[in-house]
Amino acid sequence: MSTSTTAEAARWFREAASITVLTGAGVSTDSGIPDFRGPQGVWTKNPAAEKLFTIDNYLADPDVRRQAWAARLASPLWTAEPNTAHRALADLARTGRLRAIVTQNTDGLHQAAGTDPGRVIEIHGTARDAACLDCGHRLPMADVLPRLEAGETDPPCLACGGILKSATISFGQQLDPDVLDAAADATRDADLFAAIGTSLGVYPAAGLCDYALAHGARLVIVNAEPTPYEEVAHAVLRGPIGATLPGLLGV
């Protein structure tokens, strides 16, 4: 593990001309959105819930779809507000030195905090939209939630009658190659790459750390739990993300 101090890492952020940030679920926990693998994570507390995030199960089993839609309707996402971490990253974006936020999160809170949507790369999609798995029709999730509240438990696509799903990437679904290319471009362009609130256990997102190092960027990790990249990172910082980021980012 790096022995670099928070002060030294903060200096790197101040001096960097192009910063790319990879964010994970840990950035949104202070907004009331639980992560998946942490001590209070969705899958830690209920391992069976993971099947709701697997595309084969979703397609094959109407009961899985009903459970997934019930969870979506009850999600804390709909009342969540950006927290200090989201706002600190939005402030960084306003300095002109943020190349991009590559996020594994699907909650849209980076954009809600004021970061230009054009600088947010959502590699796992967005929960704020729904998409038909048959015809590809896409619509705001806000148009589907009233149907759930009215009693539909597995709402079909109104355009073709096909299976509707949140516009997120489930296990077994292919990631959008154009989105991955954008993430790679943003990583290649950075002289500092920060992985914040992510376990770095899910690929290809975690592999961006390797790509950043290969192109000469400094790697800074901010996370509550250990990650597989600590031995190669230039700095590893442990404190609460919301309390750590403002000073670290110099905003």
Active site residues: 124
Please, are residues 236 and 245 in contact by the beta-carbon 8 Å criterion?
Answer: no
Residue 43 CB-density burial (10 A; 0-12 exposed, 13-18 middle, 19+ buried): middle
> CA 120, CA 101: separation in Å to the nearest integer?
5
- Residues 233 and 220 sit within 8 Å (Cβ to Cβ): yes
Cross-strand pairs, 190: none
SS3 per residue for 38-103? CCCCHHHHCHHHHHHHEHHHHHHCHHHHHHHHHHHHCCHHHHCCCCHHHHHHHHHHHCCCEEEEEE
Residue 241 in contact with residue 30, Cβ under 8 Å?
A: yes
Task: Report yes or no: 88 and 249 within 8 Å, Cβ to Cβ.
Answer: yes
